[in-house]
Chains A and B, each alone.
Chain A
Protein backbone atom coordinates (compact mmCIF):
# COMPACT_ATOMS: atom_id res chain seq x y z
CA UNK A 1 0.00 0.00 0.00
CA UNK A 2 1.49 3.32 -1.02
CA UNK A 3 1.19 6.65 0.71
CA UNK A 4 -0.03 8.31 -2.51
CA UNK A 5 -2.60 11.04 -2.05
CA UNK A 6 -5.78 10.91 -4.11
CA UNK A 7 -8.26 13.59 -5.03
CA UNK A 8 -11.33 13.76 -7.19
CA UNK A 9 -12.22 16.47 -9.69
CA UNK A 10 -15.54 18.27 -9.05
CA UNK A 11 -18.23 15.64 -9.68
CA UNK A 12 -21.94 15.53 -10.37
CA UNK A 13 -23.91 12.49 -9.22
CA UNK A 14 -26.94 11.12 -11.01
CA UNK A 15 -29.19 8.09 -10.69
CA UNK A 16 -29.74 6.59 -14.12
CA UNK A 17 -31.48 3.32 -14.92
CA UNK A 18 -30.86 1.99 -11.43
CA UNK A 19 -27.16 2.90 -11.58
CA UNK A 20 -25.22 5.66 -9.92
CA UNK A 21 -23.40 7.83 -12.41
CA UNK A 22 -20.50 10.05 -11.43
CA UNK A 23 -19.77 12.79 -13.95
CA UNK A 24 -16.55 14.79 -13.87
CA UNK A 25 -17.13 18.49 -14.31
CA UNK A 26 -13.54 18.86 -15.47
CA UNK A 27 -12.87 16.33 -18.21
CA UNK A 28 -16.39 15.22 -19.26
CA UNK A 29 -15.69 11.66 -18.22
CA UNK A 30 -18.34 9.58 -16.49
CA UNK A 31 -18.59 6.15 -14.94
CA UNK A 32 -21.19 3.88 -13.44
CA UNK A 33 -20.24 3.22 -9.85
CA UNK A 34 -21.44 0.51 -7.52
CA UNK A 35 -21.92 1.54 -3.88
CA UNK A 36 -18.41 0.46 -2.90
CA UNK A 37 -16.76 2.37 -5.73
CA UNK A 38 -18.91 5.41 -4.99
CA UNK A 39 -17.83 5.24 -1.34
CA UNK A 40 -14.17 5.17 -2.39
CA UNK A 41 -14.62 8.15 -4.69
CA UNK A 42 -16.47 10.09 -2.04
CA UNK A 43 -13.82 9.45 0.59
CA UNK A 44 -11.17 10.72 -1.85
CA UNK A 45 -12.87 14.07 -1.95
CA UNK A 46 -11.24 14.94 1.36
CA UNK A 47 -7.95 16.83 1.04
CA UNK A 48 -4.87 14.77 1.74
CA UNK A 49 -6.63 11.42 1.46
CA UNK A 50 -3.94 8.76 1.08
CA UNK A 51 -4.44 5.24 -0.23
CA UNK A 52 -3.92 3.94 3.30
CA UNK A 53 -6.46 6.30 4.82
CA UNK A 54 -9.02 5.51 2.09
CA UNK A 55 -8.43 1.79 2.60
CA UNK A 56 -8.92 2.07 6.35
CA UNK A 57 -12.16 4.01 5.96
CA UNK A 58 -13.38 1.52 3.37
CA UNK A 59 -12.67 -1.49 5.59
CA UNK A 60 -14.41 0.16 8.52
CA UNK A 61 -17.55 0.35 6.42
CA UNK A 62 -17.42 -2.67 4.12
CA UNK A 63 -15.12 -5.14 5.89
CA UNK A 64 -11.61 -6.38 5.13
CA UNK A 65 -10.14 -6.15 1.62
CA UNK A 66 -6.53 -7.15 0.85
CA UNK A 67 -4.31 -4.15 0.21
CA UNK A 68 -3.21 -5.21 -3.28
CA UNK A 69 -6.79 -5.74 -4.37
CA UNK A 70 -7.76 -2.33 -3.00
CA UNK A 71 -4.89 -0.67 -4.86
CA UNK A 72 -6.09 -2.38 -8.05
CA UNK A 73 -9.52 -0.85 -7.47
CA UNK A 74 -7.93 2.55 -7.03
CA UNK A 75 -6.05 2.04 -10.31
CA UNK A 76 -9.31 1.14 -12.06
CA UNK A 77 -10.99 4.24 -10.70
CA UNK A 78 -8.01 6.36 -11.70
CA UNK A 79 -8.43 5.08 -15.26
CA UNK A 80 -11.98 6.44 -15.33
CA UNK A 81 -10.64 9.95 -14.88
CA UNK A 82 -12.74 10.38 -11.75
CA UNK A 83 -9.87 9.87 -9.37
CA UNK A 84 -6.45 11.48 -9.64
CA UNK A 85 -3.30 10.53 -7.86
CA UNK A 86 -0.99 12.95 -6.07
CA UNK A 87 -3.08 16.04 -6.67
CA UNK A 88 -2.70 15.82 -10.43
CA UNK A 89 -6.24 17.05 -10.88
CA UNK A 90 -6.51 20.24 -12.88
CA UNK A 91 -6.02 23.18 -10.61
CA UNK A 92 -7.42 25.46 -13.26
CA UNK A 93 -9.92 27.26 -11.13
CA UNK A 94 -7.67 27.47 -8.15
CA UNK A 95 -5.66 30.46 -7.13
CA UNK A 96 -2.32 30.08 -5.42
CA UNK A 97 -2.52 31.17 -1.82
CA UNK A 98 -0.98 34.59 -1.12
CA UNK A 99 1.50 32.98 1.23
CA UNK A 100 2.89 30.77 -1.54
CA UNK A 101 3.12 33.54 -4.10
CA UNK A 102 6.48 34.73 -5.35
CA UNK A 103 8.09 35.64 -8.64
CA UNK A 104 10.20 32.76 -9.91
CA UNK A 105 11.13 33.92 -13.38
CA UNK A 106 12.77 37.05 -14.77
CA UNK A 107 12.55 37.75 -18.50
CA UNK A 108 15.39 40.18 -19.11
CA UNK A 109 15.64 42.19 -22.31
CA UNK A 110 19.35 42.85 -22.10
CA UNK A 111 19.37 45.36 -24.95
CA UNK A 112 17.00 46.68 -27.60
CA UNK A 113 19.48 46.36 -30.43
CA UNK A 114 18.90 43.57 -32.90
CA UNK A 115 20.51 42.84 -36.23
CA UNK A 116 17.06 42.04 -37.64
CA UNK A 117 13.92 44.15 -37.84
CA UNK A 118 11.12 41.58 -37.73
CA UNK A 119 7.77 43.15 -38.54
CA UNK A 120 5.96 41.30 -35.73
CA UNK A 121 8.50 42.15 -32.99
CA UNK A 122 6.49 43.18 -29.94
CA UNK A 123 9.35 45.24 -28.50
CA UNK A 124 10.56 46.74 -31.75
CA UNK A 125 14.17 45.51 -31.71
CA UNK A 126 16.30 47.10 -34.46
CA UNK A 127 19.95 47.84 -35.35
CA UNK A 128 19.68 51.51 -34.40
CA UNK A 129 18.21 50.96 -30.92
CA UNK A 130 20.61 51.91 -28.13
CA UNK A 131 18.82 51.03 -24.88
CA UNK A 132 20.85 48.57 -22.87
CA UNK A 133 21.05 47.20 -19.33
CA UNK A 134 24.52 47.26 -17.81
CA UNK A 135 26.23 44.20 -16.42
CA UNK A 136 25.80 45.63 -12.94
CA UNK A 137 22.08 46.16 -13.43
CA UNK A 138 21.54 42.67 -14.77
CA UNK A 139 23.58 41.05 -12.01
CA UNK A 140 21.60 43.01 -9.47
CA UNK A 141 18.34 41.72 -11.00
CA UNK A 142 19.68 38.18 -10.83
CA UNK A 143 20.80 38.61 -7.21
CA UNK A 144 17.43 40.00 -6.15
CA UNK A 145 15.53 37.30 -7.99
CA UNK A 146 17.59 34.59 -6.36
CA UNK A 147 17.19 36.16 -2.92
CA UNK A 148 13.41 36.18 -3.47
CA UNK A 149 13.44 32.45 -4.26
CA UNK A 150 13.46 32.82 -8.04
CA UNK A 151 14.69 29.98 -10.21
CA UNK A 152 14.50 30.92 -13.87
CA UNK A 153 16.13 33.62 -16.00
CA UNK A 154 15.47 34.23 -19.67
CA UNK A 155 18.00 36.37 -21.52
CA UNK A 156 16.35 38.10 -24.42
CA UNK A 157 16.57 41.32 -26.35
CA UNK A 158 16.74 42.62 -29.04
CA UNK A 159 19.31 40.01 -29.84
CA UNK A 160 20.83 39.05 -26.47
CA UNK A 161 24.09 37.67 -27.78
CA UNK A 162 24.88 41.12 -29.20
CA UNK A 163 25.17 42.41 -25.63
CA UNK A 164 28.93 43.04 -25.21
CA UNK A 165 28.91 41.25 -21.85
CA UNK A 166 26.65 38.35 -22.78
CA UNK A 167 29.16 35.59 -21.81
CA UNK A 168 29.82 37.15 -18.38
CA UNK A 169 26.12 37.57 -17.67
CA UNK A 170 25.23 34.07 -18.84
CA UNK A 171 27.95 32.65 -16.60
CA UNK A 172 26.62 34.66 -13.70
CA UNK A 173 23.16 33.13 -14.13
CA UNK A 174 24.63 29.65 -13.93
CA UNK A 175 26.99 30.53 -11.08
CA UNK A 176 24.02 31.69 -9.03
CA UNK A 177 22.40 28.30 -9.49
CA UNK A 178 19.58 29.59 -11.68
CA UNK A 179 18.19 27.91 -14.77
CA UNK A 180 18.89 29.99 -17.86
CA UNK A 181 17.33 30.29 -21.30
CA UNK A 182 18.49 32.37 -24.25
CA UNK A 183 15.99 33.55 -26.85
CA UNK A 184 17.77 34.34 -30.09
CA UNK A 185 17.03 34.95 -33.76
CA UNK A 186 19.86 32.51 -34.43
CA UNK A 187 21.68 34.53 -37.05
CA UNK A 188 24.52 35.61 -34.79
CA UNK A 189 25.02 32.34 -32.94
CA UNK A 190 28.49 31.14 -33.81
CA UNK A 191 29.77 27.69 -32.79
CA UNK A 192 31.76 29.15 -29.88
CA UNK A 193 28.64 30.79 -28.47
CA UNK A 194 26.65 27.58 -28.87
CA UNK A 195 29.40 25.78 -27.01
CA UNK A 196 29.21 28.34 -24.20
CA UNK A 197 25.41 28.02 -24.00
CA UNK A 198 25.83 24.26 -23.82
CA UNK A 199 28.59 24.37 -21.23
CA UNK A 200 26.52 26.65 -19.00
CA UNK A 201 23.56 24.29 -19.21
CA UNK A 202 21.32 26.93 -20.78
CA UNK A 203 18.23 26.23 -22.82
CA UNK A 204 18.07 27.88 -26.23
CA UNK A 205 15.08 29.09 -28.18
CA UNK A 206 15.43 30.20 -31.80
CA UNK A 207 12.67 31.92 -33.74
CA UNK A 208 11.67 30.93 -37.24
CA UNK A 209 8.73 31.96 -39.43
CA UNK A 210 8.35 28.75 -41.36
CA UNK A 211 10.60 26.86 -43.72
CA UNK A 212 10.13 29.13 -46.72
CA UNK A 213 12.93 31.58 -47.51
CA UNK A 214 10.46 34.02 -49.06
CA UNK A 215 8.20 34.14 -46.00
CA UNK A 216 11.11 34.56 -43.60
CA UNK A 217 12.63 37.21 -45.81
CA UNK A 218 9.38 39.13 -45.79
CA UNK A 219 8.91 38.94 -42.02
CA UNK A 220 12.43 38.73 -40.63
CA UNK A 221 14.51 40.11 -43.47
CA UNK A 222 16.59 36.94 -43.64
CA UNK A 223 16.19 33.48 -45.12
CA UNK A 224 14.93 30.34 -43.42
CA UNK A 225 17.98 28.53 -44.78
CA UNK A 226 20.30 30.76 -42.78
CA UNK A 227 18.43 30.13 -39.53
CA UNK A 228 17.91 26.42 -40.12
CA UNK A 229 21.66 26.01 -40.54
CA UNK A 230 22.13 27.40 -37.01
CA UNK A 231 19.25 25.32 -35.65
CA UNK A 232 21.00 22.21 -36.92
CA UNK A 233 24.23 23.29 -35.24
CA UNK A 234 22.34 24.03 -32.03
CA UNK A 235 20.68 20.62 -32.05
CA UNK A 236 24.04 19.00 -32.59
CA UNK A 237 25.68 20.98 -29.78
CA UNK A 238 22.93 21.08 -27.16
CA UNK A 239 20.92 18.01 -28.11
CA UNK A 240 17.12 18.09 -28.58
CA UNK A 241 16.05 18.44 -24.94
CA UNK A 242 17.34 21.95 -24.36
CA UNK A 243 16.21 23.41 -27.65
CA UNK A 244 12.91 25.16 -28.40
CA UNK A 245 11.68 26.40 -31.76
CA UNK A 246 9.64 29.59 -31.48
CA UNK A 247 7.02 30.59 -33.99
CA UNK A 248 4.70 33.59 -34.10
CA UNK A 249 1.75 32.88 -36.38
CA UNK A 250 0.65 35.86 -38.45
CA UNK A 251 -1.36 36.26 -41.64
CA UNK A 252 1.65 35.93 -43.91
CA UNK A 253 3.10 32.76 -42.35
CA UNK A 254 -0.07 30.89 -41.44
CA UNK A 255 0.40 28.41 -44.28
CA UNK A 256 3.89 27.69 -43.01
CA UNK A 257 2.74 25.96 -39.83
CA UNK A 258 2.21 22.52 -41.34
CA UNK A 259 5.57 22.43 -43.16
CA UNK A 260 7.26 23.87 -40.08
CA UNK A 261 5.86 21.12 -37.87
CA UNK A 262 6.99 18.56 -40.44
CA UNK A 263 10.44 20.10 -40.16
CA UNK A 264 10.19 19.88 -36.36
CA UNK A 265 9.28 16.22 -36.53
CA UNK A 266 12.01 15.43 -39.04
CA UNK A 267 14.66 17.14 -36.90
CA UNK A 268 13.47 15.50 -33.68
CA UNK A 269 12.82 18.88 -32.04
CA UNK A 270 11.02 18.23 -28.76
CA UNK A 271 9.47 21.59 -28.01
CA UNK A 272 7.75 24.26 -30.07
CA UNK A 273 6.61 27.53 -28.58
CA UNK A 274 3.79 29.32 -30.35
CA UNK A 275 3.64 32.97 -29.37
CA UNK A 276 0.36 34.32 -30.55
CA UNK A 277 0.78 37.67 -32.24
CA UNK A 278 -0.44 40.65 -30.30
CA UNK A 279 -0.91 44.08 -31.71
CA UNK A 280 1.77 45.79 -29.64
CA UNK A 281 5.19 47.30 -30.35
CA UNK A 282 6.25 47.36 -33.99
CA UNK A 283 3.59 44.78 -34.76
CA UNK A 284 0.88 47.38 -34.27
CA UNK A 285 2.25 49.35 -37.23
CA UNK A 286 1.88 46.31 -39.49
CA UNK A 287 -1.48 45.11 -38.23
CA UNK A 288 -3.10 44.89 -41.64
CA UNK A 289 -0.52 42.45 -42.98
CA UNK A 290 -0.17 40.51 -39.72
CA UNK A 291 -3.55 40.28 -38.02
CA UNK A 292 -5.34 36.98 -38.22
CA UNK A 293 -9.02 36.93 -39.15
CA UNK A 294 -11.51 34.95 -37.08
CA UNK A 295 -11.33 32.16 -39.67
CA UNK A 296 -7.52 32.24 -39.60
CA UNK A 297 -7.58 31.80 -35.82
CA UNK A 298 -9.90 28.81 -36.06
CA UNK A 299 -7.64 27.31 -38.74
CA UNK A 300 -4.62 27.93 -36.53
CA UNK A 301 -6.12 26.10 -33.58
CA UNK A 302 -7.30 23.24 -35.81
CA UNK A 303 -3.76 22.72 -37.08
CA UNK A 304 -2.02 23.19 -33.73
CA UNK A 305 -4.19 20.79 -31.77
CA UNK A 306 -4.36 18.19 -34.55
CA UNK A 307 -0.60 18.16 -34.89
CA UNK A 308 -0.10 18.27 -31.11
CA UNK A 309 -2.02 14.99 -30.91
CA UNK A 310 -0.02 13.52 -33.81
CA UNK A 311 3.19 14.51 -32.04
CA UNK A 312 2.36 13.13 -28.59
CA UNK A 313 5.47 11.49 -27.22
CA UNK A 314 7.70 13.27 -29.73
CA UNK A 315 7.17 17.02 -29.48
CA UNK A 316 5.14 19.22 -27.20
CA UNK A 317 3.58 22.41 -28.45
CA UNK A 318 3.32 25.31 -26.04
CA UNK A 319 0.89 28.11 -26.71
CA UNK A 320 1.32 31.50 -25.08
CA UNK A 321 1.00 31.01 -21.35
CA UNK A 322 0.39 27.28 -21.51
CA UNK A 323 3.09 24.66 -21.36
CA UNK A 324 1.89 21.90 -23.70
CA UNK A 325 -1.48 22.76 -25.20
CA UNK A 326 -2.82 19.30 -24.44
CA UNK A 327 -1.95 19.50 -20.76
CA UNK A 328 -5.37 20.51 -19.51
CA UNK A 329 -6.94 17.51 -21.22
CA UNK A 330 -4.52 15.10 -19.59
CA UNK A 331 -4.65 14.93 -15.80
CA UNK A 332 -1.06 13.76 -15.58
CA UNK A 333 0.13 16.94 -17.27
CA UNK A 334 -2.01 19.46 -15.39
CA UNK A 335 -0.14 21.82 -13.16
CA UNK A 336 -0.70 25.19 -11.61
CA UNK A 337 2.46 26.84 -12.83
CA UNK A 338 1.36 27.56 -16.36
CA UNK A 339 0.44 31.16 -15.90
CA UNK A 340 3.64 33.22 -16.03
CA UNK A 341 1.78 36.31 -14.96
CA UNK A 342 1.54 34.75 -11.55
CA UNK A 343 5.23 33.95 -11.44
CA UNK A 344 7.16 36.08 -13.90
CA UNK A 345 8.31 39.64 -14.51
CA UNK A 346 9.69 41.25 -17.64
CA UNK A 347 12.49 43.81 -17.42
CA UNK A 348 13.00 45.94 -20.53
CA UNK A 349 16.32 47.27 -21.78
CA UNK A 350 15.33 50.64 -20.28
CA UNK A 351 14.84 49.11 -16.85
CA UNK A 352 11.05 49.14 -16.96
CA UNK A 353 9.43 46.24 -15.12
CA UNK A 354 6.11 44.64 -16.07
CA UNK A 355 4.23 41.55 -14.99
CA UNK A 356 5.24 38.55 -17.11
CA UNK A 357 3.31 38.34 -20.31
CA UNK A 358 1.86 41.81 -20.50
CA UNK A 359 4.38 43.38 -22.87
CA UNK A 360 4.88 47.03 -22.22
CA UNK A 361 1.33 47.84 -21.20
CA UNK A 362 1.65 51.00 -19.16
CA UNK A 363 -1.42 50.12 -17.14
CA UNK A 364 0.48 47.24 -15.52
CA UNK A 365 3.89 48.90 -15.15
CA UNK A 366 5.47 48.01 -11.81
CA UNK A 367 8.29 50.57 -11.92
CA UNK A 368 11.85 51.03 -13.13
CA UNK A 369 14.93 49.42 -11.62
CA UNK A 370 16.77 52.73 -12.09
CA UNK A 371 14.34 54.38 -9.68
CA UNK A 372 13.30 51.54 -7.37
CA UNK A 373 15.33 48.51 -6.28
CA UNK A 374 14.26 45.41 -8.18
CA UNK A 375 13.84 43.62 -4.85
CA UNK A 376 11.13 46.14 -3.94
CA UNK A 377 9.40 45.79 -7.30
CA UNK A 378 9.22 42.03 -6.77
CA UNK A 379 7.11 42.72 -3.70
CA UNK A 380 4.87 45.17 -5.54
CA UNK A 381 1.33 45.25 -4.27
CA UNK A 382 0.24 45.62 -7.88
CA UNK A 383 1.53 42.11 -8.64
CA UNK A 384 -0.53 40.63 -5.82
CA UNK A 385 -3.61 42.59 -6.90
CA UNK A 386 -3.18 41.48 -10.47
CA UNK A 387 -2.78 37.88 -9.41
CA UNK A 388 -5.97 38.11 -7.39
CA UNK A 389 -7.79 39.60 -10.41
CA UNK A 390 -6.57 36.75 -12.57
CA UNK A 391 -7.77 34.21 -10.07
CA UNK A 392 -11.29 35.60 -10.48
CA UNK A 393 -11.07 36.28 -14.20
CA UNK A 394 -12.91 33.25 -15.56
CA UNK A 395 -15.79 33.78 -13.14
CA UNK A 396 -16.00 37.45 -14.04
CA UNK A 397 -15.89 37.04 -17.79
CA UNK A 398 -19.45 36.41 -18.97
CA UNK A 399 -18.37 34.45 -22.05
CA UNK A 400 -16.21 32.18 -19.86
CA UNK A 401 -18.36 31.86 -16.78
CA UNK A 402 -20.83 29.43 -18.31
CA UNK A 403 -18.58 27.90 -20.92
CA UNK A 404 -18.20 24.15 -20.65
CA UNK A 405 -14.56 24.40 -21.69
CA UNK A 406 -13.42 26.94 -19.12
CA UNK A 407 -11.57 24.30 -17.14
CA UNK A 408 -9.53 23.50 -20.22
CA UNK A 409 -8.60 26.91 -21.61
CA UNK A 410 -8.77 28.82 -18.29
CA UNK A 411 -9.99 31.82 -20.22
CA UNK A 412 -7.08 31.56 -22.65
CA UNK A 413 -4.34 34.14 -22.74
CA UNK A 414 -5.06 37.08 -20.51
CA UNK A 415 -2.48 39.16 -22.36
CA UNK A 416 -4.11 38.44 -25.72
CA UNK A 417 -7.51 39.28 -24.25
CA UNK A 418 -6.21 42.53 -22.82
CA UNK A 419 -4.43 43.56 -26.01
CA UNK A 420 -7.56 42.88 -28.05
CA UNK A 421 -10.10 44.50 -25.76
CA UNK A 422 -8.32 46.55 -23.10
CA UNK A 423 -9.98 44.38 -20.47
CA UNK A 424 -8.69 41.56 -18.30
CA UNK A 425 -12.14 40.12 -17.84
CA UNK A 426 -12.60 39.37 -21.52
CA UNK A 427 -12.29 36.21 -23.59
CA UNK A 428 -9.14 35.34 -25.49
CA UNK A 429 -9.49 36.34 -29.19
CA UNK A 430 -8.87 32.67 -30.02
CA UNK A 431 -11.95 31.59 -28.08
CA UNK A 432 -13.90 30.53 -31.18
CA UNK A 433 -10.95 28.47 -32.35
CA UNK A 434 -10.68 26.76 -28.97
CA UNK A 435 -14.38 25.92 -28.92
CA UNK A 436 -14.17 24.59 -32.48
CA UNK A 437 -11.36 22.17 -31.70
CA UNK A 438 -11.79 21.20 -28.06
CA UNK A 439 -14.59 18.66 -28.64
CA UNK A 440 -12.50 16.94 -31.30
CA UNK A 441 -9.43 16.98 -29.07
CA UNK A 442 -11.38 15.51 -26.17
CA UNK A 443 -12.68 12.67 -28.35
CA UNK A 444 -9.28 12.06 -29.95
CA UNK A 445 -7.57 11.90 -26.57
CA UNK A 446 -10.31 9.71 -25.11
CA UNK A 447 -9.75 7.31 -27.98
CA UNK A 448 -6.09 7.15 -27.02
CA UNK A 449 -6.83 6.60 -23.33
CA UNK A 450 -6.89 3.14 -21.75
CA UNK A 451 -10.13 1.23 -22.30
CA UNK A 452 -13.27 2.01 -20.34
CA UNK A 453 -13.57 0.57 -16.91
Chain B
Protein backbone atom coordinates (compact mmCIF):
# COMPACT_ATOMS: atom_id res chain seq x y z
CA UNK B 1 0.00 0.00 0.00
CA UNK B 2 2.61 2.49 1.00
CA UNK B 3 5.19 1.75 -1.64
CA UNK B 4 7.20 4.61 -3.04
CA UNK B 5 5.58 6.68 -5.72
CA UNK B 6 5.78 4.97 -9.08
CA UNK B 7 6.42 1.45 -7.73
CA UNK B 8 2.91 0.48 -6.79
CA UNK B 9 0.68 -1.61 -9.08
CA UNK B 10 -2.79 -1.08 -7.65
CA UNK B 11 -5.48 -3.55 -8.59
CA UNK B 12 -9.22 -3.36 -8.03
CA UNK B 13 -10.36 -5.80 -5.38
CA UNK B 14 -12.05 -8.93 -6.65
CA UNK B 15 -14.80 -8.38 -4.11
CA UNK B 16 -15.94 -5.19 -5.80
CA UNK B 17 -18.26 -4.41 -8.66
CA UNK B 18 -18.47 -1.04 -10.31
CA UNK B 19 -20.40 0.91 -12.85
CA UNK B 20 -20.72 4.45 -14.08
CA UNK B 21 -23.61 6.51 -12.81
CA UNK B 22 -23.66 9.71 -14.81
CA UNK B 23 -20.15 11.13 -14.50
CA UNK B 24 -19.53 9.33 -11.23
CA UNK B 25 -18.48 5.78 -10.57
CA UNK B 26 -20.35 3.60 -8.12
CA UNK B 27 -18.15 0.98 -6.44
CA UNK B 28 -19.89 -1.78 -4.54
CA UNK B 29 -17.96 -3.76 -1.96
CA UNK B 30 -19.55 -7.17 -2.17
CA UNK B 31 -18.61 -8.52 1.24
CA UNK B 32 -18.72 -5.37 3.35
CA UNK B 33 -21.98 -4.41 1.61
CA UNK B 34 -20.71 -0.87 1.44
CA UNK B 35 -20.62 1.43 -1.53
CA UNK B 36 -18.53 4.39 -2.60
CA UNK B 37 -19.19 7.12 -5.09
CA UNK B 38 -16.11 8.31 -6.99
CA UNK B 39 -16.06 11.55 -8.93
CA UNK B 40 -15.05 11.41 -12.57
CA UNK B 41 -11.32 11.86 -11.91
CA UNK B 42 -11.22 9.28 -9.11
CA UNK B 43 -13.39 7.06 -11.32
CA UNK B 44 -10.85 7.35 -14.13
CA UNK B 45 -8.05 6.40 -11.73
CA UNK B 46 -10.16 3.50 -10.52
CA UNK B 47 -10.69 2.27 -14.06
CA UNK B 48 -6.91 2.20 -14.56
CA UNK B 49 -6.28 0.11 -11.43
CA UNK B 50 -5.92 -3.21 -13.27
CA UNK B 51 -2.75 -4.43 -11.60
CA UNK B 52 -0.61 -3.85 -14.71
CA UNK B 53 -0.08 -0.13 -14.25
CA UNK B 54 2.06 1.44 -11.60
CA UNK B 55 0.84 4.59 -9.86
CA UNK B 56 3.33 6.44 -12.08
CA UNK B 57 1.75 4.85 -15.20
CA UNK B 58 -1.68 5.90 -13.98
CA UNK B 59 -0.46 9.44 -13.35
CA UNK B 60 0.97 9.59 -16.90
CA UNK B 61 -2.26 8.26 -18.40
CA UNK B 62 -4.29 10.75 -16.40
CA UNK B 63 -1.95 13.58 -17.35
CA UNK B 64 -2.47 12.72 -21.02
CA UNK B 65 -6.27 12.75 -20.51
CA UNK B 66 -6.18 16.11 -18.81
CA UNK B 67 -3.34 17.65 -20.84
CA UNK B 68 -1.07 18.21 -17.90
CA UNK B 69 2.22 17.00 -16.51
CA UNK B 70 2.48 13.59 -14.80
CA UNK B 71 4.63 14.95 -11.99
CA UNK B 72 1.93 17.48 -11.23
CA UNK B 73 -0.72 14.80 -10.69
CA UNK B 74 1.35 11.98 -9.20
CA UNK B 75 0.84 12.97 -5.58
CA UNK B 76 -2.91 13.40 -6.13
CA UNK B 77 -3.03 9.98 -7.79
CA UNK B 78 -1.12 8.46 -4.89
CA UNK B 79 -3.46 10.09 -2.37
CA UNK B 80 -6.48 8.83 -4.27
CA UNK B 81 -5.06 5.32 -4.37
CA UNK B 82 -4.38 5.46 -0.65
CA UNK B 83 -8.01 6.52 -0.25
CA UNK B 84 -9.08 3.45 -2.23
CA UNK B 85 -6.93 1.35 0.04
CA UNK B 86 -8.60 2.84 3.09
CA UNK B 87 -11.99 2.03 1.63
CA UNK B 88 -10.83 -1.56 1.21
CA UNK B 89 -11.55 -1.64 -2.50
CA UNK B 90 -8.03 -2.49 -3.71
CA UNK B 91 -6.41 -5.89 -3.51
CA UNK B 92 -4.21 -6.00 -0.46
CA UNK B 93 -1.32 -7.49 -2.41
CA UNK B 94 -1.27 -4.95 -5.18
CA UNK B 95 1.92 -3.21 -4.19
CA UNK B 96 5.29 -4.34 -5.42
Contacts and interface: CB of A to CB of B under 8 A. Distances in A.
A and B together in one complex: yes
A30 B19 contact: no
19 contacts: A14-B26, A16-B17, A17-B17, A21-B28, A23-B35, A28-B34, A28-B35, A29-B33, A29-B34, A30-B28, A30-B33, A30-B34, A439-B87, A443-B34, A443-B87, A446-B32, A446-B33, A447-B32, A452-B31
Interface in A437-452: 439-440, 442-443, 446-447, 452
Interface residues of B, number: 16
8 cross-chain pairs, A with B, having the tightest CB-CB distances, nearest first: A446-B32, A452-B33, A30-B35, A439-B86, A28-B34, A443-B88, A439-B87, A23-B35
Given A29-B35, A443-B86, A452-B33, 20 more contacts: A14-B26, A16-B17, A16-B28, A17-B17, A21-B28, A29-B33, A30-B28, A30-B33, A30-B34, A81-B33, A404-B37, A439-B83, A439-B86, A440-B86, A442-B34, A443-B34, A443-B87, A452-B31, A452-B32, A453-B33
A25 B35 CA distance: 10
Interface in A1-41: 14, 16-17, 21, 23, 28-31
B60 to A, nearest CB: 27
Interface residues of A, number: 20
B21 interface: yes
Contacts of B21: 14
A80 interface: yes
For chain B, what secondary structure do more than half of its interface residues adopt (helix, strand, loop), or is it mixed? strand
A453 B32 CA distance: 10
Interface in B1-54: 17, 19, 21, 26, 28, 31-37
Interface of B: 17, 19, 21, 26, 28, 31-37, 83, 86-88
A80 B87 CA distance: 19
Interface of A: 14, 16-17, 21, 23, 28-31, 80-81, 404, 439-440, 442-443, 446-447, 452-453
B7 to A, nearest CB: 24
A446 B26 CA distance: 18
Nearest to B28: A30
B26 A80 contact: no
A299 to B, nearest CB: 16
A30 B88 CA distance: 16
Nearest to B18: A16
Contacts of A31: 33
Nearest to A442: B34
B44 to A, nearest CB: 19
A69 B93 CA distance: 43
A176 B13 CA distance: 60
A175 to B, nearest CB: 51
A8 B96 CA distance: 43
Contacts of A447: 32
B32 A443 contact: yes
A404 B87 CA distance: 13
Nearest to A440: B86
A226 to B, nearest CB: 42
Contacts of A453: 33
Contacts of B36: 28
Contacts of A17: 17
A114 to B, nearest CB: 43
A59 B78 CA distance: 53
Given A14-B21, A14-B26, A80 B83 contact: no
A409 B65 CA distance: 35
